[in-house]
Amino acid sequence: MKKTKTKFVCQQCGFESIKWMGRCPNCDEWNTFVEEAIENYNKIEQSEPLMSNVELLRDVEVKGEDRIKTGIGEFDRVLGGGIVQGSLVLIGGEPGIGKSTMLLQVSDIMSNFTKVLYVSGEESPRQIKIRADRIIKGKEDIYLLSETNINNIERHIEKVSPGFMIIDSIQTMYTEESSTIPGSVSQVRQVTQHLMKLAKQNGITIFIIGHVTKEGSIAGPRVLEHMVDTVLYFEGDRTQSFRILRAYKNRFGSTNEIGVFEMMVDGLKEVKNPSELLLSNRESNAPGTAVISSMEGTRPLLLEVQSLICHTNFGLPRRMSTGIDYNKFVLILAVIEKKCGLNLSQSDVYLNVAGGLKIQEPAVDLGIVAAVISGYLNVPVPNDYCFTGEVGLTGEVRAVGNLERRISEAKKMGFKKIFVPYMKVKSIDDIEIIKIRNIIEVLNSLKKLK
């Protein structure tokens, strides 16, 4: 009897080894190696006809509309203007964040243009119907299929001929070509290859729902994200109503755009003016808070940064940040302590971005500085003050892009003063533009209010 050859595959990143290892040398995770049989990929018939042709780029014609509008503006914005026909999209997020809800709403809209097939490996058609009765208010012309075998799914696709398809979720699907369990690296990779072939050859737009790991990344091998055309990710806390849809990869558009949604009883509702909603519950005259004017792609966004400074009797003060990179936060605190002469070594400092958003752009630095100084001096920043600017290691305030759009957004929300870097900018009526060169000027401005 011929012995089956095996290999050990990391279920976190897909790294392969001929022997078992306790720690993966690629992703440094422990106890993630699982033994899998080595598949034979040499069983390819040489007589199979070619399915594709070589074409010149100038000879390729794009027929019809290249994008399909779903009518959900925030969803279309993240995708780059709409759904591209024949694309393969991966959407991930924590359990209960709204992945299935969002795609069920999109499926209802897409059923007006084409046939929609919703394939679920986790729910029966009856369970999907119960959820749809709460969310969908339309005619519900959606084909439902409860199946986990990708080979059987392909046969159903031949019968239905859908133009739009949902896979919920990729970790429950399996193919008979692999002997490993569903959700393993080999199964996820091969099932995705099947789906990619279906999408490209038949022009079917396929959305794949992916589970996430405890670290917050999409479960499965990293090659999964390389194979698909677009990777979307839902951010936010399940205990809060806000949901942020962000693109981490998009072959057909920008990855800088975000979509803001609010979870309601009857599904996700798009938020067309996020700044107004994020600042709606802001407490007036509270020390340690400041409003920043940020940019997410082409959209200006006003956010509230909150800081809490408490005296500590321990030798090592505590630092915590939510919504801002921790290393960046600690760096800004060091600049404040050095350049402004504030003694933060005897205080615990906590920082939070209200609304559950995660901000990465440098223009939020000046708002963090204002919030920390305000909390340290116990002086509230006036409600009509706004901040935007990058802070360097020497305390200088550096230029940021799209400054006029940031100022216009602050003016639209009723702010009267905005602190900006010392750079050339057109004056705007009804808002005072205060140009500053370093963070000491922010300190002096807040000391005058004391």
Give the Cα separation of 184 and 90 in Å (integer): 17
Q: What does the pLDDT average to over 51-68?
A: 75
**Residue 211: which pLDDT band, with cuts at 50, 70 and 90?**
confident
pLDDT of residue 44: 44
Query: Which pLDDT tens digit goes with each residue over 283-341?
Result: 888 899 999 999 987 888 999 999 999 988 888 899 999 999 999 999 999 999 999 99
Is 372 in contact with 349 (CB distance < 8 Å)?
yes
pLDDT value at residue 302: 93
**HSE-CB for 266 with a 13 A CA cutoff:** 4
pLDDT digits (tens, 9 = 90+) for 398-426: 999 999 999 999 999 999 999 999 998 88
Q: What is the mean pLDDT of residues 173-188?
A: 83
Element (H, E) at 88: strand 88-92
Decide if 420 contacts 414 (C-beta within 8 A).
no
Phi, psi of 404, deg, nearest 5: -65, -35
Q: Is the pLDDT of residue 46 over 80?
A: no
Quote the pLDDT of residue 436.
95
- Banded pLDDT at 96 (limits 50, 70, 90): confident
Q: What residues contact 108, with CB distance under 8 A and at least 6 apart?
A: 132, 136, 138, 140, 142
pLDDT of the residue at 186: 80
Whether 208 shows a pLDDT value over 70: the answer reads yes
Grade residue 225 by pLDDT with cuts at 50, 70 and 90. confident
Strand 385-387: give its sheet, edge to edge. 319-322, 347-353, 299-311, 289-296, 385-387, 417-421, 432-436
Give the pLDDT confidence score for residue 45 in this predicted structure: 45
Average pLDDT, the chain: 87
